[in-house]
Amino acid sequence: MLKGKKAIVTGGSRGIGRAIAIEFAKNGASVALIYGGNSDAAEETVQEIRALGGEAVSFKCDVQSFEDTKNTVEEILKIFSKVDILVNNAGITRDSLMLNMKEEDFNEVLDTNLKGTFNMIRHLYSHMMKQREGRIINISSVSGIAGNAGQANYSSAKAGIIGLTKSVAKELARRNITCNAIAPGFIQTDMTDKLSPKIKEAAIEEIPLKRMGQPEEVAKLATFLASDNAGYITGEVIKIDGGLYM
């Protein structure tokens, strides 16, 4: 489905990003993974893709940094010559009620999730415009649509990603570039593993499908959005949450 395509997946070393990188590679894309600091996880994902016969490279890059992301995009363009697909997936949580939320926890979550998405799009913008083709997929969250107690920082960032997605979709549509957001619910990754069993049980009880989602299920949706089959979909926010927020 993605034969010959070149893709960047931020946060591609673990969890949802890792599953997207692997699924893209299985579908014929070459993948550049960006990760924050866990080199072992990044290397493991690269090796898994290579073992499948795919092409993968990894870059340590802090998506919060305008400079760092600029240099990394330039390096990737040198290796791949082009980028067809950008997935902005890198994200963190720093949960607490507003009453106790520290300023640095608000800033860090906004800088990673929202500013990181802006940085990557900004540095690939003119490349994709000149190419007159491209797919941008931003990973938001149902918390950005419905809000979530204890996640004022995260929900703000994820809601911001939706506004960013729609604005970029409008700007780039005439260049045949689509920009969509995926809003996952509860997906089984390191991010949700750190929640207490009690919170997880309560969440699963609320989900009509009565289970958490798997990263591979999000990856299949991302692969569809990245493919030619999704050429007439732009500015959309697609929930994948087992029916949690119908």
Name the residues that contact ligand NAP, by CB under 6 A.
10-11, 13-17, 34-38, 41, 61-64, 89-92, 112-113, 139, 141, 184, 186-187, 189-192
**Closer residue to ligand NAP (CB): 137 or 177:** 137
User: From start to end of 40-125, where are the E strands?
Assistant: 56-60, 85-88
Beta carbons within 10 angstroms of residue 147's beta carbon: 14
Helix (H) or strand (E) holding 74: helix 66-80
List strand residue ranges (DSSP E) for the chain, in order: 6-10, 30-35, 56-60, 85-88, 134-139, 177-184, 237-240
Residues facing 88 on adjacent strands: 138
Tokens of 147: 């809000």
Going by C-beta distance under 8 Å and a sequence separation of 6 or more, which residues neighbour residue 167?
none
Cβ proximity to ligand NAP: between 4 and 37 the closer is 37
Compute the least distance from the CB of residue 6 to ligand NAP, in Å.
19
Between 19 and 172, whose beta carbon lies closer to ligand NAP? 19
* 125 included as an active-site residue: no
Pick the catalytic residue from 35, 125, 154, 232: 154
Q: How far is the CB of 77 from ligand NAP (least distance, A)?
A: 18
Q: Whole-number minimum distance, CB 62 to ligand NAP, in Å?
A: 5
Please identify every residue annotated as catalytic: 154
